[in-house]
């Protein structure tokens, strides 16, 4: 039942064929994500449906779900992040193509009609990761995180804000690449 995803696909052909992919991506194969993890075991479940957007742009919709163990940046104890990240990405061949953005989608620049699914899924997961992972409630380890203390206290009253801002920053960073 554990379906491996193909390594490399032609996303434009997948869109023409309206293909659907469902499979797993092992955490240990995503090196940038592994660097953030305490434990490299585990798999992410990936669902992808290739089709045209309402404005006829080639795109993929779907989700990536799974869990990753990271270090809480407040108490420095392990914590399990559960990720359930929606995917909505338009494929383009040109970095200067503004159509995906105008339609309100993230874009992925495809070179030589080739898409490495591992890189694609890993980028989506990195977007879904909080910049400063923390338990919902835990006690700071004061001697060790003195520098973070103000930050931790300020954010305590508004947990949604701390999630929103890093996410926006990451998105902008990705677009300006």
Site residues, Zn ion (CB under 5 A): 72, 74-75, 135, 138
Q: Which residue has the tokens 């359930």?
A: 84
Q: Which of 126, 57, 25, 135 is nearest to 85 (CA)?
A: 126
The size of the chain, in residues, is: 177
Rank residues 126 and 138 by Cβ distance to Zn ion and give the closer one. 138
Question: Shortest Cβ distance from residue 81 to Zn ion (Å)?
Answer: 12
Rank residues 56 and 147 by Cβ distance to Zn ion and give the closer one. 147
Rank residues 77 and 94 by Cβ distance to Zn ion and give the closer one. 77
Distances (CA, A) of 8 to 4, 93, 118, 120, 152: 12, 16, 8, 10, 42
CB under 8 Å, gap of 24 or more: what pairs does 153-156 form? none
Rank residues 76 and 109 by Cβ distance to Zn ion and give the closer one. 76
Question: Shortest Cβ distance from residue 162 to Zn ion (Å)?
Answer: 14
Contacts of 46 (CB under 8 A, 6+ apart): 5, 21, 22, 23, 24, 25, 62, 63, 64, 117, 121
Kindly state the helix (H) or strand (E) to which residue 81 belongs, with its residue range. Answer: strand 78-92
Question: Shortest Cβ distance from residue 62 to Zn ion (Å)?
Answer: 31
Question: Shortest Cβ distance from residue 145 to Zn ion (Å)?
Answer: 10
Question: Shortest Cβ distance from residue 141 to Zn ion (Å)?
Answer: 9
Rank residues 72 and 126 by Cβ distance to Zn ion and give the closer one. 72
Tokens of 49: 């449906």
Question: Shortest Cβ distance from residue 139 to Zn ion (Å)?
Answer: 8
CB-CB contact of 140 with 74 (8 Å): yes
Rank residues 137 and 176 by Cβ distance to Zn ion and give the closer one. 137
């Amino acid at each position: 039942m554990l379906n491996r995803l193909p390594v490399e696909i032609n996303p434009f052909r997948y869109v023409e064929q309206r293909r659907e992919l469902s499979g797993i991506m092992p955490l240990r194969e995503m090196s940038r994500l592994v660097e953030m993890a305490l434990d490299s075991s585990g798999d992410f479940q990936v669902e992808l449906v290739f089709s045209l957007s309402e404005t006829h742009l080639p795109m993929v919709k779907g989700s990536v779900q799974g869990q990753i163990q990271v270090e809480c940046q407040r108490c420095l104890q392990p914590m399990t992040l559960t990720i359930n990240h929606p995917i909505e990405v338009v494929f383009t061949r040109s970095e200067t193509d503004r159509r995906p953005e105008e339609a309100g989608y993230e874009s992925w620049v495809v070179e030589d009609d080739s898409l490495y699914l591992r890189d694609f899924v890993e980028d989506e997961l990195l977007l879904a990761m909080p910049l400063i992972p923390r338990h919902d409630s835990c006690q700071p380890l004061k001697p060790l995180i003195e520098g973070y203390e103000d930050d931790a206290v300020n954010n305590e009253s508004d947990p949604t804000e701390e999630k929103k801002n890093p996410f926006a920053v990451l998105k902008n960073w990705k677009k300006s690449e």
